[in-house]
Structure 1
């Protein structure tokens, strides 16, 4: 069975095939809506092809592939490299938070820096997993069969807002701060779900380069723990944490004109550009 790699376009969901996007006859605007049907990727596999377009023609036109997700869960300090660099002790329990789904922008979007609230906006390269089957009190060994897909995430954070409020949801829910995509890859296309590479470049320079094999709380443990406190529904997203190399680690934060690219193998690159708030420079 060939793995699906889906993008959201103005014409609907499309399957990525090499340098082409194959538009599918589906009643879904994005992957979260597709998975909410309760059949995983099966509807996309049997959908009729409408037409083919060069991916290059969709540059700047792709929509957020998980805009309709119901919940986005995140976790702090989940890479050993990050804990070692900061000197913080390895947590005994995951540091969990929820982000407002309204923070999800389109891939390639230009995000406005909230300069009236923050001067320390930071990028965080992460691997994100998408729930395929309803999860409640699921054991770690059952987690993989409940997950449907993987994608890239830029888990942006206003570090000074975080320090001032102690509230991750506020520091991470500004418009555009929850970038996901640019495509969503069926988990069957991942050779080793426990060892997925993730990389971030800022203006073409690599600053983060790691793998989920370095997680403090591996994916089955992390997702299982969440499911014992909250029900996870198809289309929900779970972020897995970020490795060392963020702007916070270098004390260099994002400014107008910067571009961040997050790459996860098999997923189209996730690019985010930044512009100044009107009246600020």
Structure 2
């Protein structure tokens, strides 16, 4: 059965714990990073039980379960519904679109996020996060039935994005890496071998101010975990504790204009004019996040057997 790993702060120390309902079983391990914990103390995580849960969850502050020194790897245009709402064709993206976010943007699931003063088109993207259990050697081929050998667990990621930086400047890293633009958690849900076969049944939901914006099953992703891990292993080093955000479905604030408008923009306008109009129109779009907005994000199976918890993010002024 899955179990939820938390990184906590009680005001005196930061420590790791396993959650049992409203109680915590602290782990007596020295690991400071997610990678060190999963590499060196995997058995310690599974050795604790309900009887060891002596600390109330209400007495601690829950931090992001992925520490800032880990790689934050991302997939783009990985759901057909999101490709289509972006005015693109899935057939034009037969490849896996990969990019990174700065690990310094990782923040807790309930931490407020500052919208920078120069950002006006702040968007949300709920995503399933995969966390590596061990280092992924070069040339590793991962198959769907062996995910448990390479992945520790899953977590909720909100890939917050400044569209007025990302798109006009063509810079994913810059538009997605402001401090706080990566809420992760609340916990890292560790899955057993048979449970990994249920990842397609995980349902992602994100609401803003109580209005449901995104609602989709993870099984709809185009480039799935096994093939993505295999491709990453062919490109560069990937380590225990690293985070892979697997893309977002439809429902984001950013939407493509109509076909006629896109045709005119493509053939009759310079890039500078096109993006100036994009930003101008976007500033009137009420779906973009503004200070005072409240985001609620969940990922779970419909039967509740695997539940990644809930993110509650408030957007605030600098």
Distance in 1 (CA, whole Å) between partners of 2:52 and 2:32 is: 15
| CA distance, structure 2, for counterparts of residue 32 and residue 120 of structure 1 | 34
Superposition pairs of residues 12-31 of structure 1, within 5 angstroms? 12-29=15-32, 31=34
Bigger helix share? 2
Asked whether the equivalents of residues 86 and 254 of structure 2 are also in contact (C-alpha less than 8 Å), the reply is no
1:3 partnered with 2:2? yes
Cα shift readout 1:228-249 (whole Å, capped 9, x = no counterpart): 1012110011110000011213
Q: Secondary structure in 2 aligned to 1:27?
A: coil
Q: Which runs of 5+ in 2 are unaligned?
A: 256-281, 301-306
TM-score, normalized by length of structure 2?
Answer: 0.79
Coordinate RMSD, CA, aligned: 2.1
CA distance in 2, matches of 1:23, 1:6: 10
Residue 7 of structure 1: how far off its partner (Å): 0.9
Match of 1:214 among 220, 223, 234: 220
Q: Which residue of 1 aligns with 2:245?
A: 239
Contact 1:8 1:29 in 2 (8 A): no
Match of 1:92 in 2: 94
Aligned residues: 271
Alpha-carbon shift at residue 190 of structure 1 (Å) = 5.0
Q: Contact 1:33–1:68 at 8 Å: present in 2 too?
A: no
Structure 1: unaligned runs, 5 residues or longer: none
Q: Which aligned pairs between 1:1-281 and structure 2 lie closer than 5 A?
A: 2-10=1-9, 11-29=14-32, 31-37=34-40, 41-46=42-47, 52-58=54-60, 61-90=61-90, 91-116=93-118, 118-135=119-136, 136-141=138-143, 144=147, 145-188=149-192, 189=195, 192-249=198-255, 251=285, 252-265=287-300, 266-277=307-318
Mapped to 2, the partners of 1:172 and 1:223 lie a distance apart of 22
Shift of 1:191: 5.8
